[in-house]
Amino acid sequence: ALAQANYERSEVGFGTGQVTGLQLREAQNNLARAKYQLTSQRIQTKQAELSLYFYAGSLVE
């Protein structure tokens, strides 16, 4: 949410000339990195959940 808000502010600032192209690109990269990290954490959470079910005997192969 923070990276998204920062990117949106940077877009507005770029449109008004207050933010450089480089600064906008940095905001884009930060947003992409945050989205990647969120996706990675969700995958790790699901993997841990599956392991828990497996070891608890709730998951049958």
**If you search the block for the tokens 């906008």, which residue do you land on?**
24
Q: Where are the domains of the chain?
A: 2-55
**How would residue 1 be classed by pLDDT, with cut points 50, 70 and 90?**
confident
CA distance to 14, 37, 47, 53, per residue, from 58 (Å): 53, 29, 14, 5
Global pTM?
0.79
Query: What is the average pLDDT across 4-30?
Result: 98
pLDDT the model gives residue 25? 98
Structure tokens belonging to residue 8: 């949106």
Within a 10 A sphere around the Cβ of 46, how many other Cβ atoms?
A: 10
Which of 40, 44, 30 shows the shortest CA–CA distance to 2? 30
Residue 37 is which amino acid? Q
pLDDT digits (tens, 9 = 90+) for 32-51: 999 999 999 999 999 999 99
